[in-house]
Amino acid sequence: MNRSRIGPVAALLLCACLSGTVAAAPATLVTATSREGHRDFDFLFGSWHTHYRILRRRLAHSHDWYDCYGTSVVRPFWTGSANLEDGDLGCPNRYVGGMTLRLYNAGTHQWSLWWGTRTLGLVPPPQVGHFEGGVGNFYARDTSNGTPVIVRFRWNEPAPGHPRFEQAFSADGGRSWETNWTTDYTRIPAAKTKS
């Protein structure tokens, strides 16, 4: 997506998010915080090579994973209080063009993460949460093949320049978690300019 189209796309997504037709995650899933965190995703700005590992069957005690590879570009707006990630996944049997819109609420100090694809559009509900100790946890109630689950998105940066994302499901109210999606990011060096 070219840079000049980011603003209109973000505005359309924001209108959809704020329209009231999509419910936010229940507050009981998210711990309260008073920590100012509008810069917590700054480590993710830029261009990336991405490596995805996806569990073939979820909530089935499976250990059969497959790999996908892609690229991703994360751009800030609203002085860092929001960002848009435009990415793709090349998987063995399919291609996915995806995006994530992340919005910071200065009143609650929580982030809302909205995910979507070119095929599905914006996929509710948003994940809501915040960073603590360098790890961001974001939650929503959802279903997986008819089973009610809590979905957790977890972000951290285990090594400088190598962010990591994990998605996990809990079918027992958060007592146990099954990780079913991971993404490892490797920064694409900025092109050298001629002087």
- Asked if residue 160 is part of any domain, the answer here is yes
pLDDT above 50 for 13 = no
- Residue 3 is given by DSSP the state G
In a domain, 136, yes or no: yes
Residue 24 is given by DSSP the state: P
Residues 37-73 have pLDDT tens digits of 999 999 999 999 999 999 999 999 999 999 999 999 9
CATH of residue 36's domain is 2.40.128.20
- pLDDT score of 16: 41
How far apart, in whole angstroms, are the C-alpha atoms of residue 106 and residue 110?
7
Query: What is the predicted pLDDT for the residue at 192?
Result: 53
Question: Which pLDDT does position 194 carry in this prediction?
Answer: 53
Instruction: State percent of the chain over pLDDT 90.
Output: 74
Please state the domain count of the chain.
1
In a domain, 74, yes or no: yes
Looking at residues 151-155, what average pLDDT do you find? 97
Q: Is residue 134 part of a domain?
A: yes
Residues in the chain: 195
- Write the CA distances from 86 to 93, 94, 124, 135, 186, integer angstroms: 21, 17, 17, 22, 15
The three state secondary structure string of 68-118 is EEEEEEEEEEHHHCEEEEEEEEECCCCEEEEEEEEEEECCCCEEEEEEEEC
Q: Which two tokens stand for residue 129?
A: 């949460």
In a domain, 85, yes or no: yes
Domain encompassing residue 80: 7-187
| Per-residue pLDDT at 5 | 42
The pLDDT of residue 83: 98
Q: Which residue has the higher pLDDT, 153 or 193?
A: 153
Question: Quick check: is 2 in a domain?
Answer: no
**Per-residue pLDDT tens for 105-142?**
999 999 999 999 999 999 999 999 999 999 999 999 99
Tell me the whole-structure pTM to 2 decimals: 0.83
- Is 34 domain-assigned? yes
Average per-residue pLDDT for the chain? 86
Give 12's pLDDT tier (boundaries 50, 70, 90): very low
Residue 13 lies in a domain: yes
